[in-house]
């Protein structure tokens, strides 16, 4: 059995924030061995633009309470694909249509999909 590194508290906080706002199809990818720009992708969907924005707001609130601010935020006002870049983690919040179109899980299929119970 392969031993995996523990999930950092700030990643766990983002997962819990997304769950708090009823994010759909939450996926956490460990990009550590595959990427030089981030360690984790958190991918979530919202059922509408307002829910996508609410998920982003909650993630930002929880991260700020841990002393982290997103270095870059994109797409918040449009709400179809909101990107929050924390350096150690990039959070992608999609409308269901945009998520199907961009299909990040397929693009990063070699990354380990972290079971969400490991991230709680």
Residues in a beta bridge with 64: none
User: CB of 78 within 8 A of CB of 97?
Assistant: no
Q: Tell me the two tokens of residue 88.
A: 């150690």
- Average pLDDT, whole number, for the chain? 94
Q: Tell me what pLDDT residue 74 has.
A: 98
Residue closest to 47 by CA, chosen among 22, 26, 69, 65: 22
**Pair of tokens at residue 113:** 């999909």
Q: What is the DSSP letter of 27?
A: E
Structure letter (DSSP) for residue 61: H
Beta strands in 51-114 (DSSP E): 72-74, 81-85, 89-95, 112-114
- Arch. (CATH architecture) of 9-106: 2-Layer Sandwich (3.30)
pLDDT (tens digit per residue) in 70-101: 999 999 999 999 999 999 999 999 999 999 99
């Amino acid at each position: 059995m392969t031993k995996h590194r523990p999930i950092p508290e700030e990643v766990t906080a983002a997962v819990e924030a997304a769950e708090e706002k009823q994010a759909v199809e939450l996926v956490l990818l460990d990009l550590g061995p595959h990427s030089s720009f981030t360690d984790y992708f958190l991918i979530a969907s919202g059922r509408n633009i307002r829910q996508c924005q609410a998920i982003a707001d909650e993630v930002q609130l929880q991260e700020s309470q841990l002393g982290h601010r997103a270095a870059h935020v994109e797409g918040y006002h449009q709400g179809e694909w909101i990107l929050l870049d924390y350096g150690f983690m990039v959070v992608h919040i999609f409308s269901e249509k945009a998520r199907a179109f961009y299909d990040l899980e397929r693009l990063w299929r070699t990354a380990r999909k972290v079971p969400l119970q490991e991230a709680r």
